[in-house]
Structure 1
C-alpha cells in the first residue's frame, strides 16, 4: 500500500537534490500569494472608485502590451546577463510597485490613475522576470527530475491561486485595501530576501547585449523545431478556442445559480491541484508530446461538457476536469522545453512562451464574447470546446514529431542531457581542485 501511494504522490526528488530549487519554490509560493492578493484587491478598488465594468476591464488592455513587449525583451535579457540578477531586480521592482498601491490606498481620497500605472508596471516586471525564472529551472534541476519539478511548480502556483484570492477577499472585506496591499508588500520583501540567497546564474553563451537580432535567433530556432512549434500551437489553439472564464457570470445566470459563480472560477484550480497531488506517475512518462496533445484535447472536451450539461454540479465537475487537462498539457510543454532547449537560448524561447501564454487567453476572451453574441452563452462554451478538440486533432496529425516525442530518444533531449551531465562533472572537478 505504501509503495502504491508513493507512486502517485508528487515526486519530491528536485526538492531534495537542489538547494536553489527549494529556494525558488518557497520564494515563488510566497510571491504568488502576494501577487494574487493584489490581483483581487486592485480590480475591486477600481470598481469602488468608478462603478464601471469598463474601467475594470480596461486593466486587461493596460497589462497586455507591456507583457508582450517586455516578455520578448526579458527572454533576450535572460540569455545575456546573470538570471539571478534579473529575478532579484524584478522582484524588488514588484515590491516597490506594491508599496505605491499601499501609499495610494492610505490617501484620504485614493487616485485612480496610479492603479493603471502599477498594473502596467507589474505586467512589465512579470514579462522581464518569467523568462529568467523559467530558463533557470533546467540549470538547477537534474535532467531526469525535470518532470517532477514541473509538477511541483504547478502545485505551488495552484496553491497561491486558491489561497491568495480567498484570503484577499476576506482582508479587503474586513480590513480594507490598505491591509491587502501591505500583505503584498510583506510577501515581496520576504521573496527578495530569499532571492538574495540564490546561486549566481551567469549566461552560457557569452554576454552579448539583448537585441532584436537575438530575439529573431530564438524565433528561428523555435520555428526549426517541429516539437517546440507544436507545443506553442496546441496551447494557443486551446486558449483561443476554449477559454471560458469570461462567460462564467452569464452561464451562472442562465442556469439560475448565481451562487455558483465563485465555484466556477475555482473549479479549474481545484482540478489542477488534485492532479498535482497525484502527479508521481508523470515522472515515469517519456512521451511528453502525447501528454501535451491529450491534455489539451481533454481540456476542450471538458469545456464542451461544461457548456452542454444543465446540472450546475456537472458543469463544475467538467470545469475541474478541464483544469486537470490544462495542467497535464502544461506539464508536458514545460518538460519538453526544459529537456530540449540549449541553455544559451532558453531565455529567448521562454520569452516566446510568454507571448503565447499572454495572447491566447486574451484572444480567447474576445472569441468567447463574440461567439456568445451569435450563438448564446451555452453555444459559445460547448462550441469552443468542440472546436478545440478538432484543432488539437488536426495539429497532432500535422505535427507527428510532437506526438512521437520520446525523452530517451529525441536528439535535442539527448544533447541537452549530455551537456548537463558534462557541466555537472566539470563543476565537481573544479570543487575537488579547490579542496
Structure 2
C-alpha cells in the first residue's frame, strides 16, 4: 500500500482537516457505545446474579481476552487491509452483533450480554491500529502530536463522564434500551466514517512467503529476549498485569463491602480517577523532559502500589477517593514512561512487534486474574488481596531500578550504556 500522506495543512488548521473532524466525531460515538456497554451491562449482571463475583469477573474477562489474543494480529492486518474500510466494517459488525444480542435478550437469554462485550472487544483490535494508520496518512507530521493529544484527551474525558452515562442509561431505561442505544452509536460511527477519503489500492506482493506472519512474531520475541531493558520491561508488565487485573475485577466489592456504598457509587470512584488522569497528564508533560522514562515509570508504579494497599485497607469514603485521585495522577507516568522506553530502546522496524509482544504480557496476566480474582474473593479477605496486589506492583517497580543507569541515547548493542 502506498504510504504517501495527503497534502499537509498548516499547523493551525488541524480542526479544518476533514479527516480529523470525522475521526474525532466517530470516536465520540464509539466512546458513548463503549461506556454504556461497560457500565449498563455491569449493573445488569450484578442485578441478575446478586453480586456474584464469578459473573462480574467473567464480564471483565470477556472484555480483556480479545485484547490479549488479537492485539498483535490486529496490528499486523491493519497494514494489509484498507484501514478506512476496516474501521467501517468493524463498527458495522459491532452494531449488527449488538442488535442480534438485543433480540435474544428480549426473548429471555440474558447471558448473551457477554457476547456484546466479547465481539466489540475483538473488532476494536482491528479498528484501533487502522485508525492510527489513517492518522499517519491524513495528518501532517507537525500536527500529529497535537492531534494525538486531543484524541487521548477525549478518552480521558469519557473516563470522567462515561461511567455515569452508563449507569444513568441503565437506571432510567433498562438494559434493552441501553443496548439499543449502544448499537445505534456503533452504527452512526460507521456512517460518519464514510466522510474519510477513500483508501488507496493495496499493492499485493505475490512472492511474499505464506509464513511471514509467524516469522515476524518470532523475530519480535527474539528481539525482546535479546534486550535486557525490554526483558525487564516485560517482567514489569507481567507483574503489573496480575496486580491490576485483580484489583480491577474486585473494585466493585471494595465499594460495596469496604465503603458500604451501593454499586452505583463505582461511577464516582472512576470519575475521580479520570479527573486526576487529566491533571496528571499535564503535569507529566511538563516534567517528562527532566525525568528519564524508566524513573517516570517507576514513580507511577510506586504510586499505584501505595494507593492499592491504601484502597484495600480504607473504610473511609473521602480517604478512598483521595487515594483514587493520587493513583490517577500516577497513571500518566506509567503510560508515558512505557511508550517512551519502548520507542527509545527499540529499532524503528521492530516497534510494532515489540508492542505486540509486550502488550500481551500485561493483558494476558490481566485476563487470567479477572477469573482467578473471583475465586480468591471466595477464600481471602479483600484487604489481603489488595495488599498482595500492592506487593506485586512494588516488585514490578524494583525490576526497573537496575535500568536507571542506562541511557538510550548512548546505547550500544541491545541494552544501553550505563551512565
TM-score by length of 2: 0.76
Separation in 1, partners of 2:376, 2:392: 12
Displacement of 1:158 in angstroms is 2.4
The aligned counterpart of 1:316 is 321
The aligned counterpart of 2:92 is 92
Q: Deviations over 1:187-229 (max 9, x none)?
A: 2233223433445478899685673223223333444455555
Displacement of 1:31 in angstroms is 0.6
Separation in 2, partners of 1:336, 1:137: 22
- Report whether the alignment pairs 1:213 with 2:215: yes
The aligned counterpart of 1:80 is 80
- Report whether the alignment pairs 1:378 with 2:376: no
The aligned counterpart of 1:34 is 33
One of 248, 251, 256 as aligned partner of 2:251? 248
One of 95, 107, 114 as aligned partner of 1:116? 114
- Structure 1 contact 303–381 (Cα < 8 Å) conserved: yes
Q: Deviations over 1:264-307 (max 9, x none)?
A: 34432232133246565267568334322322222222223323
Q: Deviations over 1:234-257 (max 9, x none)?
A: 333223235523333443455453
Choose 94-103 or 15-24, whichever is displaced more: 15-24
Displacement of 1:327 in angstroms is 2.6
Q: Residue 79 of structure 2: SS of its match in structure 1?
A: helix
- Report whether the alignment pairs 1:304 with 2:309: yes
- Structure 2 contact 258–314 (Cα < 8 Å) conserved: no
- Structure 2 contact 259–316 (Cα < 8 Å) conserved: no
Aligned residues: 395
- Structure 1 contact 292–328 (Cα < 8 Å) conserved: yes
TM-score by length of 1: 0.73
CA 1:24 to 1:99, structure 2 compared with 1: closer, same or farther past 3 Å?
same
Q: Residue 170 of structure 1: SS of its match in structure 2?
A: helix
CA 1:36 to 1:324, structure 2 compared with 1: closer, same or farther past 3 Å?
same
The aligned counterpart of 1:178 is 176
Unmatched 5+ stretches in structure 1: 1-11, 413-435
Alignment root-mean-square deviation, CA: 4.0
Unmatched 5+ stretches in structure 2: 1-10, 414-419
- Structure 1 contact 75–350 (Cα < 8 Å) conserved: no
Displacement of 1:40 in angstroms is 2.1
The aligned counterpart of 2:416 is none
- Report whether the alignment pairs 1:257 with 2:260: yes
One of 155, 172, 197 as aligned partner of 1:157? 155
Choose 51-60 or 162-171, whichever is displaced more: 51-60
Separation in 2, partners of 1:214, 1:159: 36
Displacement of 1:23 in angstroms is 3.7
CA 1:340 to 1:186, structure 2 compared with 1: closer, same or farther past 3 Å?
farther
The aligned counterpart of 1:130 is 128
- Structure 1 contact 131–351 (Cα < 8 Å) conserved: no
- Structure 1 contact 81–203 (Cα < 8 Å) conserved: yes
Separation in 1, partners of 2:303, 2:290: 18
CA 1:31 to 1:174, structure 2 compared with 1: closer, same or farther past 3 Å?
same
Displacement of 1:37 in angstroms is 0.7
- Structure 1 contact 79–348 (Cα < 8 Å) conserved: no
Separation in 2, partners of 1:48, 1:76: 40
